[in-house]
Amino acid sequence: MVQWTDFERTTIQSIFSNINHDVVGPAALTRCLVVYPWTQRYFAKFGNLYNAEAISTNPHVAAHGKTVLGGLELAVKNMDNIKATLAELSVLHSEKLNVDPDNFKV
């Protein structure tokens, strides 16, 4: 378990509180799908992910980017028990969606 100093905790929470989820989430997932195109196979249901333009304008990508940031926000709000907080998401991604974590080492 990670032991956060007060400075680390305050810094992380401060940075995260200033993030615009509607902008950063979609932009981050878009970047991931463009820079690591092999990760697109996990998002086949999203439709056209043929090129950077299609990815950046895809409403499913934008929505899931916001969802990912929501998961990170949950982790930030529960910094003393991140493992338990994200356990359900971990099971979903590894066992139900069969996501290989090696594809997301960023």
**CATH code of the domain containing 56:** 1.10.490.10
- What pLDDT, on a 0 to 100 scale, did the predictor assign at position 1? 63
81-90 CB burial, b ≥16 within 10 A, e <16: ebeebbeeee
5 in a structural domain? no
75 in a structural domain? yes
- What pLDDT, on a 0 to 100 scale, did the predictor assign at position 105? 55
Q: What is the pLDDT along the chain (106 residues), one digit of tens a residue?
A: 678 999 999 999 999 999 999 999 999 999 999 999 988 988 989 999 999 999 999 999 999 999 999 988 988 998 888 888 888 887 777 777 777 766 555 4
- What pLDDT, on a 0 to 100 scale, did the predictor assign at position 39? 87
Q: Could you identify the residue written with the tokens 């969606």?
A: 97
- What pLDDT, on a 0 to 100 scale, did the predictor assign at position 106? 47
- How many domains does the chain fold into? 1
Task: Write phi, then psi, for 4 (nearest 5 degrees).
Answer: -85, 140
4 in a structural domain? no
- What pLDDT, on a 0 to 100 scale, did the predictor assign at position 103? 57
DSSP for residue 36: S
- Residues 52 and 34 sit within 8 Å (Cβ to Cβ): yes
pTM > 0.85: no
